[in-house]
Amino acid sequence: MEFFVVATLIAIGAYLLKSRDERRRIALLGSHLAKFQIEKLMEGLIEGYLRALGEDDPERRESIWNLLGSSESKLCEQFNSFAAGFSKVEDKDARVSKLVWPIPYADRIFPNATFDLRELLNIHAKGITNAAKNSLNLPPKGKAFVMSAELLLMQHSCHWFCKSRAVASARMLVRHKTSYALALESVAPDTRNAYRALTGS
């Protein structure tokens, strides 16, 4: 009976600590994202890509691709500004635990098992910008596929920072019907290599 009581108290304490740490991270990231419309632009782009891919009329499809170009440029500009702003965050507040499951203050307890979100955001900024510029010289469908993957992986990184890798992966699967592994394999090779080198994924 005593063991059960102690275990329950430990579980409650861990949950409270985890919740407080998550609120701190969400508030920090949210304070930087609030200045931009990144999520709205991202959702608009992905919906636009799907609309263009589902359009049978070549002229209308081309018109949609052209319209999406301005949204891509605006998203790149805003995300690069966001990454630059977040780069001023202190190192101790930008660390992300590499552990799959959430452990309260894991970034402080296991500092060697962390990576820097500031560096990761710069990787995403470069990947999104290169995708918008179509540096891989892909046809419109291929460009849309890579850009969508870059955006989903970036969103995954933000959720990973706020919660954990497991929670971020579950959210991606539920919201976008895309696995973390597939998103990582679908981004540009430069993004994937830099991402893996930093996160160890």
Comparing 30-39, 52-61, 145-154, the range with the smallest average pLDDT is: 52-61
Residue 21 pLDDT? 75
* Eight-class DSSP state of 116: E
Using the predicted structure, report yes or no on whether residue 194 has a pLDDT greater than 80: yes
Q: Tokens for 169, please give them.
A: 């992966």
- How many domains, the chain? 1
Residue 106 pLDDT? 63
Continuous segment of H or E residues that includes residue 39:
helix 38-53
Q: What range defines the domain where residue 150 resides?
A: 2-199
Mean pLDDT score across all residues of the chain = 88
Residue 110 pLDDT? 72
d(CA 89, CA 102): 22
Q: What are the tens digits of pLDDT across the range 90-106?
A: 999 999 988 777 666 66
Q: What are the tens digits of pLDDT across the range 112-148?
A: 789 999 999 999 999 999 999 999 999 999 999 999 9
pTM here?
Answer: 0.88
Residue 201 pLDDT? 82
* Eight-class DSSP state of 95: E
- Quick one: pLDDT band at residue 16, thresholds 50, 70, 90? very low
Decide: helix, strand or coil at residue 97. strand
Instruction: Answer yes or no: are the C-beta atoms of 75 and 132 closer than 8 Å.
Output: yes
